Structure 1
């Protein structure tokens, strides 16, 4: 009970930061929105024809990948936030206080998830404005939200661990950057069938692809099938590894 109460207190601290600096959310959403507009309006005609449709069809194909790109981009902000607290000594001060140790990092994770979901909402709104028309039912939308929650939770814990292992804020801002490339090296922007053999194998078996394919199926009213199982397993593995790594570094 104490851990829950202390985590809620730390979450309020993070929410106050979000309220005080709303520009951070716009920063998290800006890059995915630029990618969305660039690929739909510059490459959308050709890409749409490649998947047997048009520019609007490509907007529907692209949006799940952009959602996941938003999560990957927000991971950098989470790492910076945690590293800044470490550099300024506030985490060292928290360690001396009579609070549950896990609550400090949990507050960062939950606060980062709030920021990320606001950014995803902004990106999805822009996608709807330029032609994205999901055909998901109400249960499918619940599935979409569930998949986004579990994957955001996993990537956020990983970014916290990366921040804890960093020696400076600058290093922490750079370590999560490779995550931004994974939607490109998966099915986020083009079908994996169009890739060379070696790259195709990597694209089909890396975690971002299963999550993107699950979202794509749910948003179009199709059963997610095995991709949902893969997405859930990957999310659980990444979340557990990130949590254990971050907790070990924090306690040390």
Structure 2
């Protein structure tokens, strides 16, 4: 048989295709679909972040180096002035810095996925529409908790201890998570509502200012009188005060309530813009 005839014969052969047995029988918009699809996309995001050097630097390496630098440069002076080891302020502050700058890095990654059309490709798949945003908040929560634990280990090496007990120390790790979820909601909203304006990138400047004007950097009384009210009540300070109370000792309820109000307020303001912006971004590439 000639080669052309052989090729024609092979082209007429129907290849049998077998499909995997269907395991998900619930509707696309059901709660079960939301849970399953959110978990799947959470795994995708965590895997993507671990492979992205920029995200890893912003979330882990940069905060760890900052904690060591602050403790080496300012730690002795602050400790002598206050009589309290400065690491009890610096470690909580850097945990929050890691949570916030990590969210900014993931927000920039979200804009990259929008620009490359990845959000649009996910949007046309048979997945629950809310799973994209839910998975991002879930992945952010996992990242914030892991970052906080790693920063805490560095702090322990520098003298950080759980003076109020292990349970209070474990509770302290959830304070960055409380504030971080609200902050991540804001970052997501800014990322998907500003195609050309670098709002997420500019947010890092605001976070840098907050980092130098909070009760963890130096005690609130060390700031000018006219600035103390802002320093005491800005979200980083309230979270730091709650974390210090759970570890070193001091008030916990009031700063924790203020932190919760900051986080709930951010979610209330930015949740709807995040949902609307994500839908628009998924349907309209940059």
The alignment's TM-score, normalised by the length of structure 2, stands at 0.79
Question: Structure 2 vs 1, CA of residues 116 and 201 (structure 1 numbering), >3 Å: closer, same or farther?
Answer: same
Question: Structure 2 vs 1, CA of residues 145 and 46 (structure 1 numbering), >3 Å: closer, same or farther?
Answer: closer
Partner of 1:171: 198
Q: Which residue of the other structure, out of 217, 224, 234, is the alignment partner of 1:206?
A: 234
- Indicate whether 1:232 and 2:260 are aligned: yes
**Which consecutive residues of structure 2, in runs of 5 or more, have no partner in the other structure?**
1-30, 281-286
Taking the TM superposition and a 5 Å limit, the aligned residue runs for 1:103-182 are 103-168=131-196, 171=198, 173-177=200-204, 178-182=206-210
The alignment's TM-score, normalised by the length of structure 1, stands at 0.89
The root-mean-square deviation of aligned C-alpha atoms, in Å, is 2.1
Larger Rg: 2
**How far is the alpha carbon of 1:210 from its aligned partner?**
0.9
Q: Which residue of the other structure, out of 31, 42, 49, is the alignment partner of 2:62?
A: 31
| Distance in 1 between residues matched to 2:73 and 2:109, nearest whole Å | 34
Partner of 2:6: none
| Distance in 1 between residues matched to 2:102 and 2:108, nearest whole Å | 10
**Which consecutive residues of structure 1, in runs of 5 or more, have no partner in the other structure?**
none
Give the ranges of 4+ consecutive aligned residues of structure 1 lying more than 3 Å apart after TM superposition.
Answer: 18-24
Question: Structure 2 vs 1, CA of residues 119 and 22 (structure 1 numbering), >3 Å: closer, same or farther?
Answer: farther
Aligned 8 A contact 1:25 1:115 in 2: no
Partner of 2:275: 247
| Distance in 2 between residues matched to 1:160 and 1:176, nearest whole Å | 12
